[in-house]
Structure 1
Amino acid sequence: MKLPGTIEGLIKAQNDVDSTAFAAYFTEKATVSDEGSSYAGRTEIKQWIQQATEKYRMRIKPLDFHQTGSMAELTVEVTGTFAGSPAVMQYHLELEGPSIYSLKITG
């Protein structure tokens, strides 16, 4: 499966527990929706991913990827210290150039 550099980098940053690198893949005004909460801007996104990764010791493995224009869907297997691990989740992405403008996680 061929992934765009932005998506490969996002996966690597999460698996490396590098919240600074993870947040850098988003635009300044990006939003993330996960588990009923929303986060806006790189600072909030960095704090969210750092807390979630530390709490659940998450690692993600890409399973499938589709992109049409600026919209993309990444299916991942998420493992960690949470009930139901491993779980398959969908990352619904809106891209803006080489950056992520929005991410909504479902699954």
Structure 2
Amino acid sequence: MSLPLPAPVSTYFEISNGSDIAQVTRCFTDDALVVDEGQAYRGHAAIQSWQRDAQKKFAYSVEPVGLSRNGDRLTVTASVVGSFPGSPVQLYHVFDLAGDRIRSLEIG
């Protein structure tokens, strides 16, 4: 399913699916915050490290399957399939956008 995602969110999902992690600088603000599995990652270097670690730990793919929007807040429902316990799972990615960048992302 192809969803009409804003450019920074689309880029984020491309990175999640194995695209160049350096693209983080194109889609997140300099001081962006990501919260995943109870851990917080702030800034480009921390977010890149988090993505690298996740991709090393498990093989997975993420497919956005639904979305809702409330102002600058976008919630994307995604199907995540991979080599991790409990696969597949459905996760909610809550993005707070600042213009053409992601200011924060909470995954749950």
Tell me if both proteins adopt one fold, taking TM over 0.5 as the criterion. Answer: yes
* Residues 67 and 73 in structure 1, CA contact (< 8 A), matched pair in contact too: yes
What is the aligned length? Answer: 106
| In structure 1, C-alpha distance between the alignment counterparts of 2:22 and 2:43, rounded to whole Å | 12
Counterpart of 1:104 in structure 2: which amino acid?
E
TM superposition shift of 1:6: 1.7
SS in 1 for 2:76: strand
Residue 45 (structure 2) aligns with:
43
- Out of 29, 32, 35, the residue aligned to residue 31 of structure 2 is 29
Runs (4 or more) in structure 1 with deviation over 6 Å come to none
User: CA RMSD, aligned part only?
Assistant: 1.2
| In structure 1, C-alpha distance between the alignment counterparts of 2:19 and 2:57, rounded to whole Å | 12
* Residues 17 and 53 in structure 1, CA contact (< 8 A), matched pair in contact too: no
Question: Which digits, 9 at most, give the CA deviation of each residue in 1:29-74, with x for residues without a partner?
Answer: 0001111110000100000011101211121001101112111101
Counterpart of 1:35 in structure 2: which amino acid?
E
| In structure 2, C-alpha distance between the alignment counterparts of 1:22 and 1:65, rounded to whole Å | 21
Identity of aligned residues (%): 30
| In structure 1, C-alpha distance between the alignment counterparts of 2:61 and 2:93, rounded to whole Å | 14
Greater mean alpha carbon deviation, residues 13-22 or residues 46-55: 13-22
- Out of 69, 72, 84, the residue aligned to residue 70 of structure 1 is 72
SS in 2 for 1:59: strand
Residue 4 (structure 1) aligns with:
6
| In structure 2, C-alpha distance between the alignment counterparts of 1:19 and 1:59, rounded to whole Å | 15
TM value normalised by structure 2: 0.91
| In structure 1, C-alpha distance between the alignment counterparts of 2:36 and 2:47, rounded to whole Å | 11
SS in 2 for 1:33: strand
Greater mean alpha carbon deviation, residues 60-69 or residues 6-15: 6-15
Could you tell me which runs of 5 or more consecutive residues in structure 2 were left unpaired when the two chains were aligned. Answer: none
Residue 80 (structure 1) aligns with:
82
Counterpart of 1:105 in structure 2: which amino acid?
I
